Structure 1
Amino acid sequence: MPRYIAHLDMDAFYASVELLRYPELRGRPVVIGGGRRHQPEVLADGTRRFAVLRDYAGRGVITTATYEARALGVHSGMGLMKAAALAPDAVLLPTDFDAYRHYSRLFKAAVAEVAPVIEDRGIDEIYIDLTDVPGAQEAVGHDPMGGVRAVALAIKNNVKRATGLSCSIGVTPNKLLSKLCSDLDKPDGLTLLRPGDLATRLWPLPARRINGIGPKANEKLLGLGIRTIGELAAADPAWLVQHFGARYGAWLHEAAHGRDERPVVTYSEPVSMSRETTFERDLHARHDRELLGGIFTRLCEQVAADLTRKGYVGKTIGIKLRFDDFKTVTRDHTLDHPTADAQAIRQAAGQCLKRVDLKRRLRLLGVRVGSLRKAGEAPPLPPARTLRPAPLAAQEPAPAYTLPLFEEAPEQETGPR
């Protein structure tokens, strides 16, 4: 019985959600990645005025963009100032992750109504095992894959009905090929890889299209004269091992030939949960204390809300700081007992900040909770006063300047002693 694995990828997901909210922007180049100040302004006549890239100033980056914006050379991860030079009239919208998570839950529930064996790979993509879905193994006329095509179309239609959004699906014998194929006919695509299609459809593609070949590996392949997946497939396995090592070299050979035996994993426990934000401008620990303090508190509250919503607690509280020289620093602090309480997270994260030199300006701040376990499996929470800072490592110098605002204020006692 053939194995049918699908990879479903929502089309320009964040941007598509925003177009549901602002349908007048359909057909226009739109970029997602602005801040709160880029919320559309409602005018007296009921129409909306939108921010445009030409007026942007700052160091934010693009989260995603519509296909019209991508046609102008704009793409995810690009700096907004650079994008403004390419598409000055593109509309700029702020990110709204609550809305994106809502639509993520909707589309996954819609898929599960047709095919329940799903591996969650993020907010906008999943793997689906279609092998045992009723009708998937049936031929339609002279098409042996007609049944699985009908199942994939039913999934696409269900997602459209539930969300108003389109998705692209690749169906192949394994996850590696399906991930590659879901991107071939975007947007609103459906790509089925038939036996014998590997050489004609995939081998002419650049080797970097294989998920797992990153920029450094691709640069090395190019230096060795390998540009396409077909050229990689034709390379001698021993030669690949010589240049890339035993494990990665062997994987390159297998991947180029479309071999992947990984199963669709329906559930895995998260290792950690985190929230972080990049500032519109560099912030100084002393001069921007109030602003930083508010951001710090909000990040802790957001992580706590994520933990509570998903039913987890964690013992390891960490912070992530990126300075104006792009140096990134992390610090962790392990509690005696796991928690999902925002105040406890903030207090422990504040202890981490005492171990960082904050003389330079900050461009990014993040909070993380790790060593997760299900809330029901955790022992009772201790009183807040049991929280104490982890000892400094012997080789770690004392910070020259810390940010007192990030520390918790002493508890106020009330009532008779």
Structure 2
Amino acid sequence: MNTTAPRRLIAHLDMDAFYASVELLRYPQLQGLPVVIGGSRRNPSATAPRSLDDFARLRDYAGRGVITTATYPARALGVHSGMGLMKAAALAPDAILLPMDFEAYRHHSRLFKAAVTAIAPVMEDRGIDEIYLDLTDVPGAQEAVDGDPLGGVRALAQRIKTAVREATGLSCSIGVTPNKLLSKISSDLDKPDGLTVLMHDEVPTRIWPLPVSRINGIGPKATERLAAMGLRTIGELAASPAHELVSAFGRHYGSWLHEAAHGRDDRPVVTWREPKSISRETTFERDLHPRDDRTQLGPIFTRLCEQLASDLVRKNYAGRTVGIKLRYDDFKIVTRSLTLPQPTRDAATIRLWAGRCLKTVPLNRRLRLLGVKMESLVPGDGQPTVTEPDAPYSLPLFDEV
């Protein structure tokens, strides 16, 4: 009898340029062209472009919006997610600019996740376009095929990719390794439409030559500090003594850097994670003044509260702590919060208490960003609406200025 424990197999699935790819389903004539998504939300009543000349171009954009995603031809021109659209216009002025359509993206997200979990049900949802899967016990994953001990998991990964394409018309990239850290790196090794299977003994040859920034959890600041220490590749990081990393970065992060560089990660695939908070925020195309632009800010503030309430209902939560976030034109960020006597997910109640928070912050500067948040979450069934507080407030709301 074979008592050998099954090989741990964790997959990371990442949809390829997800928002842009969904838009290309709507506009197939844009296939192969540089396309950027961002700047504003799609107006469902807007007239659909009929020819290439009808599409907005990046060179014509004016504002402070950022790129949400871009097609691979656009990325080849140097533009990328998070880049300001005005900066991107200097690099790719002829790129096509499309507004965002989150309803369409959420629809296709549900489709691909349903297709995947029909094959591999142990899924950790990491966002609208990426998931982790535990393939360890999925039938066929541990089988050898044509002398290849990993042939079964390769076939399973390809089956998952095919199911995603059949359900959505979109491609995805998959990395399969013994853990989440390596799978996250591996799913990006052969994009787009990639399939990478990598075991731990291949870490020195396939992972160590990569830059340290490819490890999820090593951001720009840590990358700069590591470079100053002469550690630019994952292999160089792996060769650095653990005590030196601990001395430079502290016990917790330094120890993690050492383990991550060696490809070690014991985290399980978590099928359910309780959220700590739910929030909604928006960055304005131009700075808005609480007094001069109150007719715009009031409805925006109300809509954010309504959207937050809708998110709470959809996810079946209520919250007891209401918070707001403001970013002024000097980039200073201010947050305030109030704790309610009872949890709520009622839009009007959230608007009322978020307004109370708003009255405790200075409203004498222009604003770049406005956000609302609910914390101290509880299951939402049967949660009552909260009555208006008695505490007096002296500063006005946008719509009362």
Q: Under TM normalisation by the shorter chain, which class is it? A: over 0.9
Is the 8 Å Cα contact of residues 344 and 386 (structure 2) preserved in structure 1? Answer: no
Partner of 2:387: 384
Question: Of 120, 123, 128, which aligns to 2:128?
Answer: 123
Partner of 1:145: 150
Offset at 1:194? 3.1
Offset at 1:23? 1.1
**Structure 2 counterpart SS, 1:196:** helix
Alignment of 1:390-409 (within 5 A): 402-405=396-399
Query: Where does structure 1 lack aligned partners over 5 or more consecutive residues?
Result: 393-397, 408-417
Does residue 28 of structure 2 align to residue 23 of structure 1? yes
Offset at 1:403? 3.0
Partner of 1:35: 40
Is the 8 Å Cα contact of residues 35 and 95 (structure 1) preserved in structure 2? Answer: yes
Does residue 58 of structure 2 align to residue 85 of structure 1? no
Offset at 1:316? 0.8
**Structure 2 counterpart SS, 1:20:** helix
2: CA distance, partners of 1:406 / 1:255: 53
Aligned residues between the structures:
395
2: CA distance, partners of 1:255 / 1:261: 11
2: CA distance, partners of 1:77 / 1:156: 27
Question: Of 68, 84, 101, which aligns to 2:73?
Answer: 68
1: CA distance, partners of 2:154 / 2:41: 43
1: CA distance, partners of 2:171 / 2:118: 17
**Structure 2 counterpart SS, 1:149:** helix
Does residue 58 of structure 2 align to residue 53 of structure 1? yes
Is the 8 Å Cα contact of residues 38 and 92 (structure 1) preserved in structure 2? Answer: no
TM-score normalised over the length of structure 1: 0.91
Is the 8 Å Cα contact of residues 313 and 339 (structure 1) preserved in structure 2? Answer: yes
Does residue 263 of structure 2 align to residue 252 of structure 1? no
Partner of 1:299: 304
Deviations 1:78-120 (A, max 9, x none): 1000000000011111111121111111111111000000011
TM-align CA RMSD? 1.9
Does residue 127 of structure 2 align to residue 133 of structure 1? no
**Structure 2 counterpart SS, 1:218:** helix
Offset at 1:267? 0.4
1: CA distance, partners of 2:34 / 2:386: 53
Alignment of 1:211-360 (within 5 A): 211-360=216-365
Deviations 1:301-347 (A, max 9, x none): 11111111111111111111111000111111111111111100100
Is the 8 Å Cα contact of residues 356 and 402 (structure 1) preserved in structure 2? Answer: no
Distance 1:302 1:141, change over 3 A: same
- The amino acid of 1:152's aligned partner reads A
**Structure 2 counterpart SS, 1:34:** strand
- The amino acid of 1:148's aligned partner reads V
Query: Where does structure 2 lack aligned partners over 5 or more consecutive residues?
Result: 1-5
Partner of 2:3: none
